[in-house]
Structure 1
Amino acid sequence: MKSRHAASIAPRFIAAAAVGAAVILGTSGCAMMSMQATTIPYSPADGVNVPDSGPINVRNALVVADEKGTDGNLIAALINTTDESQTLRIEYGDGETATIRVGAGETLTLGAEGEDPVLLEDIDSLPGTTTPMYFQSGDEEGVLQQVPVLDGSLDYLAPFVP
């Protein structure tokens, strides 16, 4: 024979457990369903990474321009992921082009010690804006990317103003 006291404890326990579960789900349920910020890819620098441009990976691409935005120097890291030399083709401005050869398995850092940036004439983009540039290498179709245009107000970029 069960006591009345034991019979009244079970419903109270179930009710307390249900309230506790509701509080836990109510306060953490949104976090369970939301995207984690650490899984979102981004460029943690002044420039941009160019996805899917071919066998040459373009990293931290930016242009340092004069105050009129007429000419600019392209600074970037170019990484050839193949065992053959590859050519990166860049289109900018009104159909202007530049080509850069990157050796097999080589990383070429434009604007670093011993490597000059690539002068882009007639970019027609003021500092503080972006300029559209098309990057293509290998047999890939290439990709159009908005590349930031900066000026020489930052000490480390001042030497690259054309």
Structure 2
Amino acid sequence: MKARLAASVALALGIALAGTGCSMITYQATTERYDASDGVSADVGDLAIRNILVVSDDGESGNLLMTVVNRGGDDVELSVQYADGGTTEIVPIEGGSTVVFGTGDVETEEQIEPYLLSGIDTDPGSLMPIYLQYGGEPGVQVQAPVLDGGLPEYAEYVP
């Protein structure tokens, strides 16, 4: 009787370990941050910059689409540098705010539409280097995709 009880306990423990034990040694993909949309993301100091992309049909001028979340309390001036470092735009971002660039689809936050970049010299379908930085924070360069109006969701954002 004791042998049967011990065997039942061992079997139940084995089933429980087999059913859940693999999560102790298996890679957990849900712990990794990734860009779930067409754009790329970056963090610069207190700024979380999400879904950065450019929409252009001619490769000469483009509409910069991105969302900037200022997680800090201080107002900052975000420097957006493009065209091989030749052109720099300064964008004010208030402390504790979210600013959506290039589109007006978010009603609760500040929106800037469109945010035109001229002289980008980047063909649709390629990547465009954009350098983002503010104050004394170390900047970051991203390779932002340049998309055209071929997809219906981006057609209205073509400059």
Using structure 1 for the length normalisation, give the TM-score. Answer: 0.75
Report what 1:42 is aligned to. 34
| 1:35 partner SS | coil
- Compare CA radii of gyration and give the structure with the larger one: 1
For residues 29 and 103 of structure 1, what CA distance do their matches in structure 2 show? 47
Percent sequence identity is: 42
Aligned counterpart, 2:112: 115
2:122 is aligned to: 125
The runs of 5 or more residues in structure 1 that have no matched partner are 1-24
Match of 1:105 among 68, 89, 96: 96
- Contact 1:55–1:138 at 8 Å: present in 2 too? no
- Which letter does structure 2 place at the counterpart of 1:89? S
Alpha-carbon offset, residue 79 of structure 1: 1.1
Structure 1 residue 77 and structure 2 residue 74: aligned?
no
Which 4+ residue blocks in structure 1 deviate beyond 4 angstroms? Answer: 28-32
For residues 8-87 of structure 1, the aligned pairs below 5 Å read 32-51=24-43, 53-66=44-57, 68-87=58-77
> Which structure 2 residue ranges, 5 or more long, are not aligned?
1-16, 105-110
Deviation, structure 1 residue 30: 7.7
Number of residue equivalences: 152
Distance 2:89 2:74 in 1: 20
SS in 1 for 2:152: coil
Q: In structure 1, the residue corresponding to 2:30 is in which secondary structure?
A: helix
> For 1:69 and 1:126, how far apart are their aligned partners in 2?
4
Tell me which amino acid in the other structure corresponds to 2:74.
E
Query: How far off its partner does 1:55 sit?
Result: 2.2
Deviation at 1:158, TM superposition (A): 1.2
What do residues 91-117 of structure 1 show as CA deviations (whole Å, max 9, x unaligned)?
A: 111323111111121111012325213
